[in-house]
Amino acid sequence: MIIVTGGAGFIGSAFVWKLNQEGIEDIVIVDRLGTTDKWRNLVNLRFEDYIYKDDFFNMLCDDTLPFEISAIVHMGACSSTTERDADYLWENNFLYTRTLAEWAIEHHVRFIYASSAATYGDGRQGFSDDHGKIKALKPINMYGYSKQVFDLWVLRRQLENKMAGIKFFNVFGPNEYHKADMTSVIFKAFHQIKETGKVKLFKSYKPEYKDGGQMRDFVYIKDCINVLWWLFKNQDVNGIFNLGTGKARTWNDLIGAVFSAMGIETNIKYIEMPEELRNQYQYFTQAEMNKLRAAGCPAVFSSLEDSVRDYVVNYLQQADPHLGR
């Protein structure tokens, strides 16, 4: 069985969709559905079983799993960059991940896990995924730190040659709908435009960036899962890798693409940023992608405009916006 933790979540469910496209259904979803609509991501997918995350953890530790595992794709974590409960993040994002990794290494099972571009903090130290430079990163929120701690654990124990970690940049696309405040700006903008005809963006508080000129490396979910699939197939490729397009674009570019996909003239209103966000706001992110390419990954990334159009036209404007419908 292929274990996909967070398999009902955004990236996890998209990867299950990719596995289904490749004719693979021997999949066990590990997640916590709770009271959200995350379960809707599973409706169109084909898999063998669903196991609650704590039950899976206990079965793994007690060696009572009723099946053999061929790979663990660990996308399960708290992904909220504004989560303030540090103990929860430590337990959920670090300790849980460490236990799965230790089990995978002991049993010689492929282990792919999600890190995050949030580990790069304010970006002053650049966005290099060179292992030596990763050790010096200083995240600016607890979510980023919880991801950084695991990356450091991997590097201290020289385990980067036995697993693949992915530093996701700004991922957007179908199946993110359950994420509430953590949904992409594209998703939020689409609904703002439908309701009000305009989109609100934060003002800039740095003179070198005009309002809406703050920049991010926006990457489409379909491109991300193609990279995950390549890593899944090429189990001799290991290390910690960035996953973005390698080309930063402005929020104005992003919102303009949403308006264009909807066939509506761009209308942006710039608003004040909440005080609590100003000291941890990233004005620029851009993945350095040479390392993944040097490893042989043939990934080709869609343009921002093409990605946004596919998301808006083929998903957000459809009755069932989920992958696999």
**DSSP letter string over 60-76?**
HHHT--SS--SEEEE--
Q: What is the pLDDT at residue 69?
A: 98
How far apart CA 130 and CA 5 sit, in angstroms, is 26
Task: Respond yes or no: is residue 143 known to be catalytic.
Answer: yes
Q: What is the pLDDT at residue 14?
A: 98
For residues 299 and 227, the answer to whether their CB atoms sit within 8 Å is yes
Q: How do residues 291-303 score in pLDDT, each as one tens digit?
A: 999 999 998 999 9
Among the listed residues 143, 220, 311, 315, the single catalytic one is 143
What average pLDDT score do residues 195-209 get? 96
Q: Which of 304, 134, 170, 162 is nearest to 238 (CA)?
A: 162
Strands 218-220 and 2-5: unpaired
What domains does the chain contain, in order, with CATH numbers? 2-173+218-244+287-302 (3.40.50.720)
Among the listed residues 50, 133, 162, 179, the single catalytic one is 179
What average pLDDT score do residues 3-19 get? 98
Q: What is the pLDDT at residue 300?
A: 92
For residues 143 and 216, the answer to whether their CB atoms sit within 8 Å is no
What average pLDDT score do residues 102-118 get? 97
The structure tokens 């695991």 sit at 150
Q: Is the pLDDT of residue 179 over 80?
A: yes
Alpha helices by DSSP H, 157-274: 185-196, 221-233, 251-262
Q: What is the pLDDT at residue 84?
A: 86
Q: What is the pLDDT at residue 54?
A: 96
Q: How do residues 126-163 score in pLDDT, each as one tens digit?
A: 999 999 999 999 998 999 999 999 999 999 999 999 99
For residues 39 and 7, the answer to whether their CB atoms sit within 8 Å is no
pTM of the model: 0.95
